[in-house]
Amino acid sequence: MAKGRAIICEDRCKGCGLCVTACPQGLIELSKKLNNSGFHPAVVSDMEKCKGCALCALMCPDVAIEVEKEES
């Protein structure tokens, strides 16, 4: 079973939420914290469930997400 990791660069994120709706697993939410630019950055709530599909990164307008995938 594929296991993934979506790495969101907090400082590049503008908190638009497009990745939140893009994630088929519903794993992304906007943080309560503010980043250095004053946005609520996206965070992965449960990385264990990430499959590494990269749809979040595909929809990110700010190239703030890198995705890794592990094959077991």
Partner 1 sequence: MSAAKVFTKPASMTDKIMHFCPGCTHGIIQRLVAEVIDELDIRENTIAVGPVGCAVFCYDYWDVDFHQASHGRAPAVATGVKRVHPDKVVFSLQGDGDIAAIGTTEIVHAAARGEKISCLFVNNSIYGMTGGQMAPTTIVGQKTTTTPGGRDSNMAGYPVKLTEMLAVLDGTAYSARVSVHNPANVIKAKKVIKKAFEVQIKGEGFAIVEILSTCPTNWGLSPVESIKWLEENILPYFPIGEFKTPGEVSR
Min dist CB 12 to partner 1, Å, is 6
Query: Residue 26, interface with partner 1 (CB under 8 A)?
Result: no
Closest residue by Cα to residue 56 from 25, 18, 30: 18
Q: Is 21 exposed, middle or buried (0-12, 13-18, 19+ CB in 10 A)?
A: exposed
Task: Among 39, 42, 44, 50, indicate the residue that binds partner 1 (CB under 8 A).
Answer: 39
Between 3 and 45, name the residue whose CB sits nearer to partner 1: 3
Total residues interacting with partner 1, rule: CB under 8 A: 31
* 63 contacts partner 1 (rule: CB under 8 A): yes
The count of other CB atoms within 10 Å of the CB of residue 65 is 23
